[in-house]
Copies of this chain bind each other. A is one copy, B any other.
Amino acid sequence: MILAPYLLFLGDAPDALAAKVAQGIRDWRPEASVGQLRLPGCQADMGLPEMTVAQGVAAGAKTLVIGVANRGGFISDAWIAVLREALEAGMDIASGLHNLLRDVPELVEVAAANGRVLHDVRVPSVQYPIANGVRRAGKRCLAIGTDCSVGKMYTGIAMEREMLERGMKATFRATGQTGILITGGGVPLDAVIADFMAGAVEYLTPDNEPDHWDLIEGQGSLFHASYSGVTMALVHGGQPDALILCHEPTRPHMRGLPDYQLPSLHDVHEVGLRLARVVNPACEVVGVSVNTAALDGAEALACLAVIETEMGLPTVDPFRQGAGRLVDALG
């Protein structure tokens, strides 16, 4: 478990996009961060109080979270000095970088000497089981998409937020690095060994109270040539009662695959539901979540209206409009 609250390390982020992990934490768990720590030249800003390591510790920070991906994913000397200082001051460190904290001998040594933990959230820390497909109690909702990075994580978190505000029982279940850093736990599914993917999802979403909903973070797309196997494991391991279709209406081709057009929402509906019913015959597609960030307000409303008519399902941009109608649709 990654201990909160956090001090968000933005490093020398050249722009806001480089700090999108920090942005996700800031957007979705603003109360989790006591402040931000920026190095000279940093162009990202979460609008949090500027703090040194010492100030962060004084403000109660338990973990320094690396909220930035630097060029090439490596951990620079300028960073090491700060990370080292954080460990010595009593903080753990959490990172979703490809290059692992545990592969930096200096950090391993300083962490051990100070009894601190290095969380490389991209690496599974559990030996997951093979999936057994046994019917579980409780309800599960999974976001599936026409592509990668179309808003599946935001949809799940927004629904959890709405449900908790209504007094419903709900838990967002993170399956990617940013989601794990936002919530403090989860399964880094893209790093799990093939045979154990669906089992990892079962592990993440165990038996629960009959009226409890797990909101499972989706990954990839059943139609994405690179990552569809991961999506499939979510559909079968997740045993969903409800599917939400996620879409980004302005994308010219599948992310990273210039030769591939996006599937239609109808395609995703049909194939996703058919595969989900293998493990849960009662599964239904209940709504559509559209990321309209690239559209202005009027365009967004028009786009949502067209899709709602075409699909015959509640269609919202949860970031813009809230997830109320999607939660209503869970029934």
- Using a CB–CB cutoff of 8 Å, the interface residues on chain A facing chain B are 130-135, 189-195, 197-199, 222-233, 235-237, 254, 256-257, 259-260, 263, 271, 274-275, 278-279
* Across-interface contacts of A275 in B (CB, < 8 A): 222, 228, 271
* Across-interface contacts of A191 in B (CB, < 8 A): 193-195
A236 touches B225 (CB 8 A): yes
User: Which residue on B lies nearest to A188, using beta carbons?
Assistant: B194
* Across-interface contacts of A259 in B (CB, < 8 A): 133-135
Minimum CB–CB distance for A127 against chain B, Å: 12
> Which of B131, B263, B278 sits near A278, CB closer than 8 Å?
B263
Copies of this chain, count = 2
> Which of B134, B198, B229, B237 sits near A198, CB closer than 8 Å?
B229
* Across-interface contacts of A132 in B (CB, < 8 A): 225-226, 256-257
* Across-interface contacts of A226 in B (CB, < 8 A): 130-133, 195, 198-199, 236
* Across-interface contacts of A229 in B (CB, < 8 A): 194, 197-198, 229-233, 236
* Across-interface contacts of A224 in B (CB, < 8 A): 236
A228 touches B222 (CB 8 A): no
Bound state CA distance, A27 and B245, in angstroms? 48
Additional 7 contacts, C-beta under 8 A, given A133-B257, A133-B260, A228-B232: A131-B226, A132-B256, A133-B225, A198-B227, A228-B236, A229-B236, A260-B278
Bound state CA distance, A191 and B235, in angstroms? 20
What are 23 residue pairs bridging A and B, where the CB atoms are less than 8 Å apart in the complex?
A: A130-B226, A131-B226, A132-B225, A132-B226, A132-B256, A133-B225, A133-B259, A191-B194, A191-B195, A193-B193, A193-B194, A195-B227, A197-B229, A198-B228, A222-B232, A225-B278, A228-B233, A228-B236, A228-B275, A229-B229, A229-B231, A231-B232, A271-B275
User: Which residue on B lies nearest to A130, using beta carbons?
Assistant: B226
B190 touches A192 (CB 8 A): no
Minimum CB–CB distance for A144 against chain B, Å: 13
Residue among A134, A191, A195, A259 with max Cβ neighbours from chain B (10 Å): A195
Minimum CB–CB distance for A100 against chain B, Å: 14
Known: A232-B228, A278-B225. Contact between A190 and B194, CB under 8 A?
yes
